[in-house]
């Protein structure tokens, strides 16, 4: 008899497995994932103001199994709550890459969709999904708590139906995302995370994982040194 731990539960191609027990586990895991979502809300802009009412007693988002988490390493969802300046986007990407897969991104506010009222600003990134794979956008300036909760429910339904797979796109088309990041931050942009190694680990390498931008990264990539703390006495 096979051990429970040996039964594969994640269908890579979206198809049901022939093993009926594994199919049951696929659905069970997807159901559990969709009902226990820990969110890291990165308060980039004014849209974050709608999160306290969405979470507290009036709308009570926690009843859906959604609760805030203080560290990216234990969070499933990254909420980007408004306009993202170029400086902030670097931190958003660093945060996203530290989250464990499967992971999901929700762009809240029109500013994440197309730049919103900052569409002409030289200092903001306009379209979030050029830099990170976004699962759900919640448009509005700013969206009300009902809209935020509806966006969360949409993501829950996607995960339950096995359609919450945007995180795979970051590995499968890494060269595209890296190219846009290099365009904004310069060719010497690098993060501490080995995305290509992770793509190999998950079996998500594709032709578009590699390209001219990953070649540029390879040329200058080096281990990042921690900053030394200097105390002036």
The distance of closest approach from Cβ of residue 143 to ligand SF4 in the complex, given in angstroms and rounded to an integer, is: 8
Which x/- pattern, by CB under 6 A, does the window 82-121 give for ligand SF4?
Answer: xx-------------------------xxx----xx----
Q: Assign 136 to helix, strand or coil.
A: strand
160 Cβ neighbours under 8 A, 6+ residues apart: 30, 31, 34
Compute the distance between CA of residue 8 and CA of residue 40 in angstroms, rounded to an integer: 28
The distance of closest approach from Cβ of residue 147 to ligand SF4 in the complex, given in angstroms and rounded to an integer, is: 12
For 77, the token pair is 């969802």
What are residue 68's DSSP bridge partners? Answer: 39
The distance of closest approach from Cβ of residue 43 to ligand SF4 in the complex, given in angstroms and rounded to an integer, is: 10
The answer to whether residue 141 forms part of the interface with ligand SF4 (CB under 6 A) is yes
Distance between first and last Cα of the chain: 67
Compute the distance between CA of residue 200 and CA of residue 198 in angstroms, rounded to an integer: 5
Residues in binding contact with ligand SF4, number by CB under 6 A: 12
In the complex with ligand SF4, the residue whose CB is nearer, 79 or 196, is 79
Compute the distance between CA of residue 145 and CA of residue 224 in angstroms, rounded to an integer: 40
Cis peptide before 102 (omega within 30 of 0): yes
DSSP designation for 3 = -
In the complex with ligand SF4, the residue whose CB is nearer, 91 or 215, is 91
For 215, the token pair is 């070649």
Among 105, 142, 155, 178, binds ligand SF4 (CB under 6 A): 142
Number of residue whose CB is nearest ligand SF4? 82
Compute the distance between CA of residue 29 and CA of residue 12 in angstroms, rounded to an integer: 14
The distance of closest approach from Cβ of residue 157 to ligand SF4 in the complex, given in angstroms and rounded to an integer, is: 24
For 90, the token pair is 């670097």
Interface stretch with ligand SF4, choices 2-10, 11-19, 29-37, 41-49 (CB under 6 A)? 41-49
For 200, the token pair is 């190999």
The distance of closest approach from Cβ of residue 121 to ligand SF4 in the complex, given in angstroms and rounded to an integer, is: 11
In the complex with ligand SF4, the residue whose CB is nearer, 113 or 152, is 113
The distance of closest approach from Cβ of residue 132 to ligand SF4 in the complex, given in angstroms and rounded to an integer, is: 17
Catalog residues that contact ligand SF4 under the rule CB under 6 A.
Answer: 45-47, 82-83, 109-111, 116-117, 141-142
């Amino acid at each position: 008899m096979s051990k429970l731990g040996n039964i594969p539960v994640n269908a890579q191609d979206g198809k049901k497995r022939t093993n009926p027990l594994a199919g049951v586990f696929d659905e069970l895991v997807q159901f559990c994932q969709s009902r226990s979502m820990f969110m890291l809300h990165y308060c980039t802009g004014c849209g974050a103001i709608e999160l306290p009412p969405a979470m507290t007693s009036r709308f009570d988002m926690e009843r859906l199994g959604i609760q805030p988490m203080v560290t990216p390493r234990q969070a499933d969802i990254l909420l980007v709550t408004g306009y993202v300046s170029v400086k902030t986007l670097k931190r958003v990407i660093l945060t996203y890459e530290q989250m464990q897969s499967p992971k999901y991104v929700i762009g809240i506010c029109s500013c994440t969709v197309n730049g919103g009222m900052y569409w002409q600003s030289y200092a903001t990134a306009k379209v979030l999904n050029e830099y990170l794979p976004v699962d759900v956008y919640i448009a509005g300036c700013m969206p009300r708590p009902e809209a935020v909760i509806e966006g969360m429910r949409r993501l829950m339904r996607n995960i339950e139906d096995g359609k919450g797979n945007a995180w795979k796109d970051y590995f499968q088309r890494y060269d595209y995302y890296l190219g846009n990041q290099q365009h904004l931050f310069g060719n010497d942009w690098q993060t501490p995370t080995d995305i290509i190694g992770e793509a190999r680990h998950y079996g998500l390498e594709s032709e578009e994982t590699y390209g001219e931008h990953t070649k540029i990264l390879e040329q200058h990539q080096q281990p990042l040194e921690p900053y030394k703390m200097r105390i002036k006495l």
